[in-house]
Amino acid sequence: MLISAVKASLFRPFAPLKARFNLWLDRRIPPSNNITLHHRQTFILPTRFGYMMLFILTLMMVAATNYQNSLAFLLTFILSSIGFNVIILTYGNLTGINIKAKTTDAIFAGQPLDIPLVISTTEKRQHYSVGFGTSQAIQQVIDISPDQSIETTIRVVPEKRGWYRPGRFYTATVYPLGMLRVWSWFKFSQQYLVYPSPLDPGVIARQSDAEQEPEAGRMSGGEEDFAGIRSYRKGDPKRKIHWRAYAREQGLHTMEFEEPEGKSSVLDFDSFNHGDVEQRLSWLCYLVLESESHGKRYGLKLPSNLIEPDSGSKHRQSCLQSLALYQGEQL
């Protein structure tokens, strides 16, 4: 924590410069789902090896001039001509690449999101050792042929629910000699849906030392008829534990109840007696998944809308989407 605070204080004066740079970058490389890299969207600078070669060539030129050595001049000019050709080759290895973003299924907050990309080239030449990733790290290095499209992914981890728009991604190459790096930052206009992270209401209640758990069982409507006993699983509510079996030293077991046929329930946002908005949405997300996995009919009641009881994948998706896009005020 202390290191993070020190880093934040050190880089705080550069925040306005970073914001202006991002605005300039948005104008130069606007967000799009179909990007073709060209001269306005790529940048080039020497690598450490390139700077070292430039320093050596400078020393060679000074020595050749000082001693008036023709062979030294010849070697310096040959190496310099190679360097100029490397600039053209490295730059051309990245330009002409086309990057398309594809849609993917929604995920839950905190889970990795693999953004699918389709990469091809508009040029009639091969592109070698082109890396793709985020500003933190290159994740994929591929070769691109003019006669094929390559599908790959870039992984990010959204931490919040709702519509997620990724930041800028990074692509770069140092081919062929590693003396120069050509790179670009590209940004997609595609958005991806992120559901709340599902949390067991009973676990949260125990973690907060609450005397009473949220009335999750009543909300899910599944405790009217006794269905049987199963082995205890971590997170099961205390009120469902078969204490008589435990007293007989038969181990921990949990009682299961099933919903009477034809009966449905409504998962109500206001049925919880504690927890902030995000906690309640996470609990409801867990209850939606549990109800669907047990084949129950369930509805969802939020302060802003009501979804009538039903079941099935489309109904599950509709409930989860409502939870992800809920815009209510904090409690």
53/99 same-domain check: yes
Q: 113 and 187: one domain? A: yes
What gap in Å lies between CA 171 and CA 187, rounded to an integer?
A: 11
- 169-195 average pLDDT score: 92
Whether residues 52 and 126 fall in one domain:
yes
Q: What is the count of structural domains for the chain?
A: 3
Q: Which of 103-117, 137-151, 210-224 has the lowest mean pLDDT?
A: 210-224
121 part of a folded domain:
yes
Task: Write down which residue in 141, 171, 191 finishes a domain.
Answer: 191
40 plus 147 within the same structural domain: yes
Residue 67 lies in a domain: yes
In this structure, is residue 179 part of a structural domain?
Answer: yes
Measured CA to CA, the distance from residue 271 to residue 276 in angstroms comes to: 13
User: Is cis: bond before 309, omega within 30 of 0?
Assistant: no
Residue where a domain terminates, one of 211, 236, 258: 258
More confident residue, 49 or 228: 49
Q: Grade residue 21 by pLDDT with cuts at 50, 70 and 90.
A: confident
Average pLDDT over residues 91-117: 92
pLDDT band at 85 (very low <50, low <70, confident <90, very high): very high
Judge whether 13 lies within some domain. Answer: no
Of the three residues 174, 191, 208, the one that is the final residue of a domain is 191
88/182 same-domain check = yes
Per-residue pLDDT for 257 more than 90? no
In a domain, 126, yes or no: yes
Do 173 and 202 sit in the same domain of this protein?
no
- pTM exceeding the 0.75 threshold for the entire prediction: no
Report whether 322 contacts 299 (CB < 8 A): no
How confident is the model over 131-150, as pLDDT tens digits?
A: 999 988 899 999 999 988 99
For position 259, what pLDDT does the model report?
Answer: 54
Instruction: Please write the tens of the pLDDT for every residue from 263-280.
Output: 678 888 888 877 788 889
Same domain, 50 and 121: yes
Provide the token pair at 44.
Answer: 């080039």
Asked if residue 283 and residue 245 are part of one domain, the reply reads: no
Residue 170 lies in a domain: yes
| DSSP secondary structure of 86-118 | HHHHHHHHHTTEEEEE-----EETTS-EEEEEE
144 DSSP 8-state letter: E
The reply to whether 50 and 125 lie within a common domain is: yes
Q: Where are the alpha helices (DSSP H) in the chain?
A: 2-11, 15-28, 48-67, 70-94, 201-207, 216-220, 243-247, 277-293, 313-324
DSSP per-residue codes, 29-58: S---SEEE--GGG-EEEE-HHHHHHHHHHH
* Residues 162 and 309 both lie in one domain: no
Q: Of 8 and 163, which is predicted with more confidence?
A: 163
Whether residue 134 lies inside any domain: the answer is yes
Q: Note down the domain range covering 316.
A: 196-221+262-331
Q: Is residue 172 located within the same domain as residue 211?
A: no
Same domain, 42 and 73: yes
- Asked if residue 62 lies in contact with residue 209, where contact means CB atoms within 8 angstroms, the answer is no
Please indicate, yes or no, if residue 103 is contained in any of the structural domains. yes
Choose the weakest-confidence range: 34-38, 89-93, 171-175, 225-229: 225-229
If pLDDT is split at 50, 70 and 90, which confidence band does 208 have? very low
